Amino acid sequence: MIEVVSQSRCVSCNQCVSVCPTNVFDKGEDGIPVIARQDDCQTCFMCELYCPVDALYVSPDSEGVMGVTEEELEQQGLLGGYREKVGWGRGRVPVAKHDYMYQLSVRSGF
């Protein structure tokens, strides 16, 4: 479930408020989005992917809150990891183009 909106990284673009398919966020009074309906989070990671500054963290547990903090995530380098792997962001190549996509498809039929 979505657990962290980094106050220090957020640029108040509210992209996450728009793209969340289950409407989990509200616009905050100070411009920083608020996790208003955490129970509705379906752990699809789309908000994280669309965040242009890697300010969001969706913890992998879809059934409950794990209680991670921004400091821990910074230390472990977990913020923005998914977006990097998908290849979104300036100067990155979309993973869709990756040569392994072709190789795996040929070998396994996926």
Partner 1 sequence: MAIQATARGQLSLETDVLVIGGGPAGTWAAISAAAKGAKVILVDKGYCGSSGATAPSGTGVWYIDPEREKREEAKASRYAMGGQLAEHEWMNRVLDRTYENMNKLGNLGYPFPVDPSGKPHKRGLQGPEYMKLMRKLVQKSGVKILDHSPVLELLADDYGVGGAAGVNTQTGDAWSIRAGAVVIATGGCAFLSRALGCNVLTGDGYLFAAEAGADLSGMEFSNAYAICPTFSSVTKTAYYSYASFYYEDGTVVEGAGSKRGRSVIARNLLAGRQVYAKLDQAPEDLKPLLRVAQTNFFLPFDRRGIDPFRDLFPVTLRLEGTVRGTGGIRIVDETCATKVPGLYAAGDAATRELICGGFTGGGSHNSAWAMSSGSFAGEGAAEYVLKLGDSAKSRSLRGLSSQSLTSASADGGASQSRTQEYVQAVQDEVKPYDRNLFRTEQGLSDSIGRLDGLWKAQRENAVSVSAEGVKAREAAAMTATARWMYHSALARKETRGMHKREDFPTIDGGQRHRLISGGLDEVWVSTERVADDAASQERQPVKESVTA
Q: How many Cβ atoms sit within 10 Å of the Cβ of residue 48?
A: 21
CB of 45 to partner 1, least distance (A): 6
The interface with partner 1 within residues 5-34 (CB under 8 A) comprises 17-23
Count residues contacting partner 1 (CB under 8 A)? 41
Is there binding between residue 89 and partner 1 (CB under 8 A)? no
The interface with partner 1 within residues 31-50 (CB under 8 A) comprises 40, 42-46, 49-50
Is there binding between residue 94 and partner 1 (CB under 8 A)? yes
Residues 78 and 59: their CA atoms lie apart, in Å, by: 10
Is there binding between residue 72 and partner 1 (CB under 8 A)? no
**3-state DSSP call for residue 34?**
strand
Residue with smaller CB distance to partner 1, 7 or 23 = 23
The answer to whether the beta carbons of residues 7 and 34 sit under 8 Å apart is no
The answer to whether the beta carbons of residues 99 and 65 sit under 8 Å apart is no
Token output for 61: 């547990």
CB of 74 to partner 1, least distance (A): 14
Token output for 52: 């242009």
